[in-house]
Structure 1
C-alpha cells in the first residue's frame, strides 16, 4: 500500500493511524510493554497518572478490538481481569519506544523553539 494512501479519508489504514495517534494508546501500550507481565485495570490506571476510568476503558477496548492488547477474565469473585500487550501490540510498542527516545533526545531543542516562538513579537497586520 502506498504510504500516501493512508492519508486518504477512505483508506482503512487511516482508522489504524487514528487509534495509534491517541496519547492514551501510546501510554497504555508503553506501560503494558514495559511491565513484567499482565496488569489489572487499577494497576494500569495508577501508572497512567491523569487518565480517567472512562478514557482508560475506551482505550483498552479499542486496543483489544485492534488486536494490540489481550484481555483475560478469571472466574473469581469478584472477577479478576488482566490486560497484556500482544505480539502485534509489542511491535507498535517498539515504534512508540523509539518515538519516546527521540522525544527525550530533542526535548531541549523543542522547548527552546517553543520559548522563542512564544517570546517573539506579534507580526504587524498587513494593510
Structure 2
C-alpha cells in the first residue's frame, strides 16, 4: 500500500495540547459570551430571536453576539434557522450537543449565583491582603 493510500487515524482529542482543535471549541463555549448565550438559550427552553438573546445577555454588543453565535453554530452547539418572511425572521436554538453542554454550564451558573456572598467575601479578603 502506498503512503497516499494509507488510512490516517485522527489523533485523540486532547484539550491540553495547543495543537488540538478542541481548544477552540472550548474557548468558544467557555468564553465570556459563549457560556452566557448557551445558558440563556437553555433557560429560554425554546428557539430565540437575536434581539431576545441580546436583551437576555445584558452588556453584549450586536457585533459580539453575532460573532459568538456564528462560532457556536460552526462548532455545532447552536442551530440558526431562517424563516422566509418579510422581513426575514431568524432564530437560534441549542442543538443536541448544545443541550448536552448547557446542562453542566447551567449548574455552574446556578452555583455561582447561590454562592455569590461567599465569593464576594473571598474577593474582599484577598484584596485586603494584597493591598498591603
Q: 1:72 pairs with 73, 81, 87, which one?
A: 81
Which residues of structure 2 form unaligned runs of 5+? 1-11
**Aligned residues of 2:29 and 2:72 also touching (Cα < 8 A):** no
Q: What is aligned with 2:53?
A: 44
Which residues of structure 1 form unaligned runs of 5+? none
What is the number of equivalent residue pairs in this alignment?
121
1:6 aligns with 2:15: yes
Q: What is aligned with 2:128?
A: 119
How high is the TM-score relative to the length of structure 2? 0.83
How high is the TM-score relative to the length of structure 1? 0.86
- Rounded to whole Å, the distance in 1 between the matches of 2:102 and 2:90 is 22
Tell me the secondary structure at the aligned position of residue 86 of structure 2.
coil
Deviations 1:11-59 (A, max 9, x none): 2221122112211111111111111421111111111111100000001
- Any residues of structure 2 matched to 1:58-97 within 5 Å, and which? 58-97=67-106
